Structure 1
Amino acid sequence: MKLVFHFHFFCVCMILVRITIFIDLDFLIFKYLLIRSHYCHKELMVSASKRHCSLIRSSLGGVFDPNQRREKKKIFRS
């Protein structure tokens, strides 16, 4: 009788351990996918921003360097 009780107790403990491991694995997989999707979204936003900037540059007519100072046109009054 005692042996049967110990066996059942062992089986229940092993089932609980397996459930805990599966829950932990599911959580880790979910966390990995969440982080991965966050970085993929971030990369997509950066590439979209770069594309948008290049479209603006091309519509301005050529390469535009934001660090370059614009020369002020001198207005000659006659």
Structure 2
Amino acid sequence: MSEVRTVQLGQFTDENADAVAEQLEAAGITWYDKQSGRWGRTLFLGEWGTRLFVDASRLDEARDIARSVLGSDDALS
């Protein structure tokens, strides 16, 4: 199994992350997610929603997909 270097695509609401992840998968882009738990959301203001990580070599393509799904550059935080 080959290793994939990932980078953070952005932090999204859970619903938006699901929509973006669906399209990343359809495009064959390796992705992972990190969802903040109840305690993380309570203790840390920056912990909300879901962070998506993608194959670093396909970051530009992943950004284009996220923009097309969400309709704006503001969605990539």
Greater fraction strand? 2
The structure richer in helix per residue is 1
Higher relative contact order structure (alpha carbons within 8 Å, sequence separation ≥ 6): 2
Larger Rg: 1
